[in-house]
A and B are shown apart, each in its own frame.
Chain A
């Protein structure tokens, strides 16, 4: 199945083509993310691999948390394509996708830098191949993160951090009883596509009109709920 993956939650956007097994092509779009750049970039990517729009079978889009405008730009592109090409649309909670196919067990905190010195964090537990979300993605300060980890004591917590934000480890090292896993770009793209493929397999596709980003704000305002975080619906997906 040929999937188009779109992730504009971070400063740099990613477009990718692939399926649950492999990435066929990918392109990073640097700062200044806008629809004016995404569409030509997508065009270039598809031409390079001689893929026509008729070949695309589904669109998988990252829902955040992440940049307010960035998420909307990516989502608009995803929705337009799904609508026009009449192919299924799947929205994936960004932090969920990082954890889902991780071939490990234990407690994880998926972390990404937000703004104003704060972070988006999601807490998960993996046990015998099953992944469960412990807490909603939150907007936390460094001390807020420390505080949230207290409930897991004495269990160790592993931070999941994209390699692009590896400088976070310097600060996070100070928190006792934790370790890190750096996730490289390839892993993140594969995770997006795999979780998308998984959702398609089970028929859990999203509604083009109503799909919204998962935006986390300091005022606890939820603008849209997206599709219920994939992990909350059903436990027991096979582990990676």
Chain B
């Protein structure tokens, strides 16, 4: 069962705001998989999520360290798989302990690189560049856990250009 939602954000601030709304609604134990080319707004979205979790420090792409942990109302585990070449590499980083914990939120940039290792249930977000500042953001829930989050966002009527 999948639930999907498509949103267009007009600029960087709206993308962040979207992230913030998500951050407020995602339950602990959530796994969010982000895909989208360089500059499509993945990290911006994560910054928004961080804001929703009350995280103060500036969130940047952990491209170098791959995983960065932040403490907020719940912990945020920020993954950036840009540098990894094979799925096996994150096995060595103890990914399973992050993906299957129930305390915090896992957000993964370039998640398509580990498609075989994602849990059965997760929230997928695809970001597309429309023009210099506009982004088309598609959310898709795998599992009822995330279906509820999308339903709430839909009800809120945020930024929705069309609903799927």
Residues in chain A within 8 A of chain B (CB atoms): 67-69, 72, 115-117, 217-219, 221, 223
**The one of A68, A218, A221 that contacts B94, using a Cβ cutoff of 8 Å:** A68
B96 in contact (CB, < 8 A):
yes
Q: Once the chains bind, are B116 and A116 in contact (CB under 8 Å)?
A: no
Other than the known A69-B94, A218-B117, A223-B92, what 14 A-B pairs have Cβ atoms closer than 8 Å? Answer: A67-B96, A68-B94, A69-B97, A115-B99, A115-B100, A116-B99, A116-B120, A117-B120, A217-B91, A217-B96, A218-B116, A219-B88, A219-B91, A219-B116
Q: Mark B84-112, 1 if CB is under 8 A from A, else 0.
A: 00011001101011011000000000000
For A116, list chain B residues within 8 Å (CB).
96, 99-100, 119-120
Name the B residues within 8 Å of A68 (CB-CB). Answer: 91, 94, 96-97
Q: Which residues of B contact A (CB under 8 A)?
A: 87-88, 91-92, 94, 96-97, 99-100, 116-117, 119-120
B119: nearest chain-A partner, CB-CB? A116
- Inter-chain contacts of B119 with A (CB < 8 A): 116
B96 neighbours in A (Cβ, 8 Å): 67-68, 115-116, 217
Contact B88 A221 (CB under 8 A): yes
Closest B-chain residue to A67, C-beta based? Answer: B97
Distance between B61 CB and nearest chain A CB, rounded to angstroms:
24
Contacts A/B (CB < 8 Å), 13 sampled: A68-B94, A69-B94, A69-B97, A115-B99, A115-B100, A116-B96, A116-B119, A117-B120, A217-B91, A219-B91, A219-B116, A223-B91, A223-B92
Question: In the complex, which of the residues B87, B91, B99 has the most CB atoms of chain A within 10 Å of its own CB atom?
Answer: B91
Q: Which residue of A lies closest to B88 (CB)?
A: A221
Looking at the assembled complex, report how far the CB atom of B92 sits from the nearest CB atom of chain A, in whole angstroms: 7
Min CB–CB distance B101 → chain A (angstroms): 10
**Which A residues are CB-close (under 8 A) to B120?**
116-117
Residues of B within 8 A of A69 (CB): 94, 97
Q: State A117–B120 Cα separation when bound (angstroms).
A: 9
Residues from chain B with a CB closer than 8 A to the CB of A218 are: 116-117
> Smallest CB-CB separation from B92: which chain A residue?
A223
Instruction: List the 6 shortest-distance A-B pairs measured between CB atoms, nearest first.
Output: A115-B100, A68-B94, A69-B97, A69-B94, A221-B88, A217-B91
**Chain A nearest CB, measured from B39 CB (Å):** 31
Residues on the A chain within 8 Å of B117, using CB: 218-219
CA distance A217 to B120 in the complex (A): 16
**Distance between A66 CB and nearest chain B CB, rounded to angstroms:** 11
Q: Chain B's nearest CB lies how many Å from the CB of A239? A: 35
Chain A nearest Cβ from B3, distance in angstroms = 21
Q: Name the CB-closest residue of B to A117.
A: B120
- Tell me whether A221 and B97 are in contact (CB under 8 A): no
Chain A residue contacts of B91, Cβ below 8 A = 68, 217, 219, 221, 223
- Closest residue on chain A to residue B97 by CB atoms: A69
CA of A30 to CA of B99, assembled, Å: 20
Give bound CA distance, A117 to B87, whole Å.
Answer: 20
Chain A residues with CB under 8 A of B99? 115-116
CA–CA, A72 and B96, complex, Å: 14
CB-based nearest B residue for A215: B91
Task: Please give me the residue from chain B that is nearest to A223 by CB atom.
Answer: B92
Q: Which residues of A contact B92 (CB under 8 A)?
A: 223
List, in ascending order, chain B residues with CB within 8 A of A221's CB.
88, 91
Q: Which residues of A contact B100 (CB under 8 A)?
A: 115-116
User: In the complex, which of the residues A72, A217, A223 has the most CB atoms of chain B within 10 Å of its own CB atom?
Assistant: A217
